[in-house]
């Protein structure tokens, strides 16, 4: 069996507004338009993924929060409705998806032998979190590839950002090893936003773009700094600064997704491609791709 590989690593944030604005048949509410820069960024990235040969999407989501350890979806098929608890007016999405349970079990076992606390989630009535669903929808709305779903442990909250990052780098390494042993081609998805300071009041018309803007210059500066490091391939520096970034920009990176991705990609030194950056209710969202093939070209 040929060795498996990670064919792309993607930072793919999950504001429900982006699905709402696209009016897919799965979502009940309907919108006029909105957040085009981000949506067109996803559109361009989808074209690249559609032309790519891959078997599975492995997604780490901030909104499946597990009190103890790292959990993995362990049921082959899920079908239900996902409602965003903060924006039920924007996101009531009917989903149906397949899970690559074998790969999930392999990552779960590998992470456990690396010293992490892990658990397979076997409840067939479990409602898959909206972070997983939104990021996967925005990258593959046809849902024609199985996913592996990984939860967000509370290490950053119980201990501190440094401990959280260490766990996520180890989980990333276990993910990479399991993908390689599987013989499969995997696309990895880190589902978090960057800076994450919200508006406190929603406009009457959510897609009225007059209201959508950066509203804290310091958060914007932090986002630009992190994106510059990604574009320059300076992942180690990005990880060195991650604890401060998390604290000072209230970043959703505190859920561990991006650190997991950096670990799985073995701290890439090749440049990432930024497809889009934009504000959603004031939070900073970047769509970014790391293409390991670009490392081979520049080597
Ligand atoms: Fe979120």
What's the gap in Å between 91 CA and the centre of ligand 1?
13
Where would I find the beta strands (DSSP E) of the chain?
5-11, 56-66, 70-73, 77-83, 92-98, 118-121, 147-153, 185-190, 273-280, 283-290
What's the gap in Å between 250 CA and the centre of ligand 1?
12
In 3D space, the residue among 194, 231, 230 whose CA is nearest the CA of residue 214 turns out to be 194
What's the gap in Å between 215 CA and the centre of ligand 1?
18
DSSP character string of 237-281: HHHHHHHHHHHHTT-GGGGSHHHHHHHHTTS--SPPEEEEEEEET
What's the gap in Å between 63 CA and the centre of ligand 1?
6
What's the gap in Å between 15 CA and the centre of ligand 1?
7
What's the gap in Å between 19 CA and the centre of ligand 1?
14
What's the gap in Å between 182 CA and the centre of ligand 1?
30
What's the gap in Å between 273 CA and the centre of ligand 1?
22
Residue range of the domain that includes 193? 5-298
What's the gap in Å between 11 CA and the centre of ligand 1?
13
pLDDT tens for the 299 residues of the chain, in order: 789 999 999 999 999 999 999 999 999 999 999 999 999 999 999 999 999 999 999 999 999 999 999 999 999 999 999 999 999 999 999 999 999 999 999 999 999 999 999 999 999 999 999 999 999 999 999 999 999 999 999 999 999 999 999 999 999 999 999 999 999 999 999 999 999 998 888 899 999 999 998 889 999 999 999 999 999 999 999 999 999 999 999 999 999 999 999 999 999 999 999 999 999 999 999 999 999 998 776 55
CATH number of the domain encompassing residue 106? 3.40.830.10
What's the gap in Å between 53 CA and the centre of ligand 1?
29
The Cα 160–Cα 165 span in angstroms is 9
What's the gap in Å between 193 CA and the centre of ligand 1?
7
The tally of domains found in the chain comes to: 1
What's the gap in Å between 130 CA and the centre of ligand 1?
9
What's the gap in Å between 132 CA and the centre of ligand 1?
10
Q: What is the pTM of this model?
A: 0.97
> Edge-to-edge strand order for the sheet containing 70-73?
118-121, 70-73, 147-153, 56-66, 185-190, 5-11, 283-290, 273-280
């Amino acid at each position: 069996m040929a060795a498996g590989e990670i064919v792309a690593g993607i930072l793919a944030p999950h504001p429900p507004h982006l699905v709402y604005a696209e009016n897919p048949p799965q979502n009940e509410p309907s919108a006029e338009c909105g957040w085009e820069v981000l949506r067109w960024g996803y559109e361009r990235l989808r074209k690249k993924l559609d032309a790519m040969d891959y078997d599975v999407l492995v997604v780490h989501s901030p909104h499946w929060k597990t009190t103890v350890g790292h959990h993995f979806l362990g049921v082959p098929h899920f079908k239900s409705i996902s409602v965003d608890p903060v924006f039920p007016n924007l996101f009531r999405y009917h989903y149906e998806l397949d899970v690559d349970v074998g790969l999930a079990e392999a990552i779960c076992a590998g992470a456990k032998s690396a010293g992490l606390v892990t658990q397979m989630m076997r409840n067939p009535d479990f409602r898959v979190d909206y972070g997983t669903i939104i990021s996967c929808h925005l990258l593959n709305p046809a849902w024609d590839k199985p996913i592996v779903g990984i939860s967000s442990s509370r290490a950053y909250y119980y201990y501190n950002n440094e401990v959280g990052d260490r766990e996520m780098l180890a989980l990333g390494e276990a993910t990479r090893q399991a993908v390689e042993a599987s013989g499969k081609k995997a696309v990895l998805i880190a589902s978090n936003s960057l800076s994450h300071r919200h508006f406190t009041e929603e406009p009457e018309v959510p897609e009225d773009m007059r209201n959508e803007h950066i509203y804290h210059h310091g958060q914007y500066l932090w986002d630009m700094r992190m994106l510059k490091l990604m574009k320059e391939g300076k992942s180690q520096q990005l990880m060195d600064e991650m604890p401060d970034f998390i604290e000072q920009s209230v970043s959703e990176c505190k859920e561990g997704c991006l650190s997991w991705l950096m670990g799985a990609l073995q701290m890439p030194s090749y440049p990432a491609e930024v497809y889009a950056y934009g504000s959603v209710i004031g939070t900073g969202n970047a769509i970014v791709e790391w293409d390991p093939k670009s490392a081979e070209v520049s080597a």
